[in-house]
Structure 1
Amino acid sequence: GWAGVKLMLVSPDGDEGYPGTLTSVVTYKLTDKNELRIEYSATTDKATPLNLTNHAYWNLKGARAESGTVLDHIMHLNCDSYIAVDDESIPTGKLTAVKDDAPMDFTKAKPIGQDLGKLTNDPQGYDHCWVINGGGDSTKAPVLAAEVREPSTGRVMRVLTTEPGVQFYTGNYLPGTPDVNGFAKHGGFCLETQKFPDSPNQPSFPSCILKPGETYRQVTVHEFAVE
């Protein structure tokens, strides 16, 4: 069984510059299998770009001052490539194999902070979109995008999705002080399942355009365990 909440948003034609009246529905479910399921659907009356995601921050040690950063969490990404970007973080349209870029290679699980010093972005940290192996088919069951382990507690979170990409972000801009006004830099990470960024301008990327008569669907599942 499950318990949850269903939310709906109607975005009128022209809202924030986007065409069409868009009706979006998202359902958050807590299941008796220790899952958080997020189910999205949307329809429109004019063709419009649509790329829905979730920007929750996670720290599997807990939301406490003594939890520290997430750099010791062990991350595995089921992704053999990532989307290359330019100096302004705009996708170039090229997919780069992670085997050719060691800091971006999470095909074998490793601490999030292991290769952080090799990154050249400012502020330093991950904020990139990886291409999920076998992902991107909303008519099939969600596939594994990521698995994260917290060594001191044994807590594990697995993220499965029907989306083609996952944006892995390490809280590079978090400015706060724990227990005072939020979380410090690298105090949490995000795994944002999504369409590829800049896909309207990249013809080689899967389309993010929703057309009248179509129904957008996405399922993302967070599975939790202690191992």
Structure 2
Amino acid sequence: MKPLTLILSAFLLVVATLDQANAQVEDFDSIRLYTLKNESGMTVKVTNYGAIITSLTAPDRNGHFADVVLGYNRVEDYINAVDKPYFGAIVGRYGNRIAAGEFTLDGETYTLLKNNGPNHLHGGAIGFDKVVWDADFDPSNQSIALSYLAKDKEEGYPGNLQLTVTYTLTNDNELIVDYHATTDKATPVNVTQHSYFNLKGEGEGKILDHELMINAKKFTPVDEGLIPTGELANVAGTPFDFTSAKPIGRDIGQEDQQLTYGGGFDHNWVLNKGDDDDALTLAARVYEPTTGRVMEIHTTEPGIQFYCGNFLDGRLIGKSGKAYVHRGGFCLETQHYPDSPNQETFPSTILRPGQEHQTQTIFKFSAK
């Protein structure tokens, strides 16, 4: 993919922030689209713009494949989309929210862009979802390694952060996502994959009948700005109890202050990790009853953000020409907890020189 019109369409959006983001207009001519395909016929399409998964096909109970992630056919549409939904992208340097757009680290206070009301969200004006990554495509192993150097003070963050995200598609219908980062100065790092899923097929209506299990007995309640209060609250007896699978829509209409704050589910769950906090653990399982499609997520991360498309409103038209309606997709973003740089009791997200940031998340697809 070499969209010549992209330079013109992106120029006005990018040029005003070039100094802040260290982006280069000429980088946009190097955007490509890569396809991973396994022996069963499952495919994953990835672009090096934003490390975005643009398409992911999965079989139903009859062996029929459908694209189950929301997105677009043209990179221009990712750049120009209203409301910036982060379809399929890698988000960072810090995925999720940082309160008041600032944090203090080693005695120095860092100020970030407030791009989500009074708070900072998903890395700022030009986060990892809006830059061009270097790509190392390995078709023999059905993998692609995407690398990006986030420079010191880029979007306000300290340190030159070298990040590589590798997507690998296995013959067991697993998409493995490996994250690796190093830095030359202490910095918070919380990078996640932000695909929206609809296991009926993208654009095929709402996801409220999908049956979801989240392997978590606690979640992190938030204030009206969706910043965690610091509490780890029990899900038992609340709409946030997904310890046993239930339809996403079953309790979403309950009178509950947390649901009001999020406009539905838009919260971080504290995963049941057992004795090894760094172990690969089952985080969530989703079943779509009409097609039989199942998606399981395993991760080394301590938390998962479940967001059920509360801000989709039908204005965005996807790949198949269908509108993405309210709650027409859901995200399950493996992560550290939101606002961790300002919450001493949360697991640390600080990466220091000489250390390596390494996490893994696996999305496994099947049908029943």
Match of 1:112 in 2: 248
Is it true that 1:192 corresponds to 2:330 in the alignment? no
User: Shift in Å at residue 87 of structure 1?
Assistant: 1.9
Per-residue CA shift, 1:90-111, capped at 9, x if unaligned? 111000000142x000001100
Match of 2:348 among 170, 183, 207: 207
- Asked if the contact 1:2–1:32 (Cα under 8 Å) also holds between the matched residues in 2, the reply is no
Aligned pair count?
222
SS of 1:217 mapped into structure 2: strand
TM-score, normalised via structure 2 length: 0.58
Task: Show structure 1 runs of 4+ deviating over 2 A.
Answer: 135-138, 175-182
With over 3 angstroms needed to count, the CA separation of the structure-2 counterparts of 1:123 and 1:167, relative to structure 1, is closer
- Asked if the contact 1:77–1:146 (Cα under 8 Å) also holds between the matched residues in 2, the reply is yes
Unpaired segments ≥5 residues, structure 1: none
Per-residue CA shift, 1:148-203, capped at 9, x if unaligned? 00001111000000000000000111122555474111000000000011111111
Q: Which one-letter code corresponds to 1:162 in the other structure?
A: T
Is it true that 1:161 corresponds to 2:325 in the alignment? no
Match of 1:30 in 2: 169
User: Shift in Å at residue 124 of structure 1?
Assistant: 2.8
- Asked if the contact 1:123–1:173 (Cα under 8 Å) also holds between the matched residues in 2, the reply is no
Match of 2:182 among 23, 26, 43: 43
Is it true that 1:75 corresponds to 2:212 in the alignment? yes
Match of 1:54 among 184, 187, 193: 193
Aligned equivalents of 1:14, 1:183: Cα separation in 2: 36
With over 3 angstroms needed to count, the CA separation of the structure-2 counterparts of 1:212 and 1:182, relative to structure 1, is farther
Match of 2:46 in 1: none
User: Shift in Å at residue 63 of structure 1?
Assistant: 1.4
Per-residue CA shift, 1:112-166, capped at 9, x if unaligned? 000010144266321000001017833x3x1000000000111100000000000
Aligned equivalents of 2:291, 2:160: Cα separation in 1: 46
Match of 1:134 among 273, 278, 288: 273
Aligned equivalents of 1:128, 1:174: Cα separation in 2: 17
Q: Which one-letter code corresponds to 1:200 in the other structure?
A: P
- Whose relative contact order is higher, 1 or 2, with alpha carbons under 8 Å and at least 6 apart? 1
SS of 1:41 mapped into structure 2: strand
SS of 2:253 mapped into structure 1: helix
With over 3 angstroms needed to count, the CA separation of the structure-2 counterparts of 1:224 and 1:17, relative to structure 1, is same
- Asked if the contact 1:132–1:165 (Cα under 8 Å) also holds between the matched residues in 2, the reply is yes
Greater helix fraction, Structure 1 or Structure 2? 2
Greater strand fraction, Structure 1 or Structure 2? 1
User: Shift in Å at residue 71 of structure 1?
Assistant: 0.2
- Asked if the contact 1:158–1:224 (Cα under 8 Å) also holds between the matched residues in 2, the reply is yes
Question: Which has the greater radius of gyration?
Answer: 2
Aligned equivalents of 1:181, 1:22: Cα separation in 2: 38
Match of 2:285 in 1: 147
Sequence identity percentage: 50
Q: Which one-letter code corresponds to 1:149 in the other structure?
A: Y
With over 3 angstroms needed to count, the CA separation of the structure-2 counterparts of 1:149 and 1:181, relative to structure 1, is closer
Match of 2:145 in 1: 6
Q: Which one-letter code corresponds to 1:78 in the other structure?
A: N
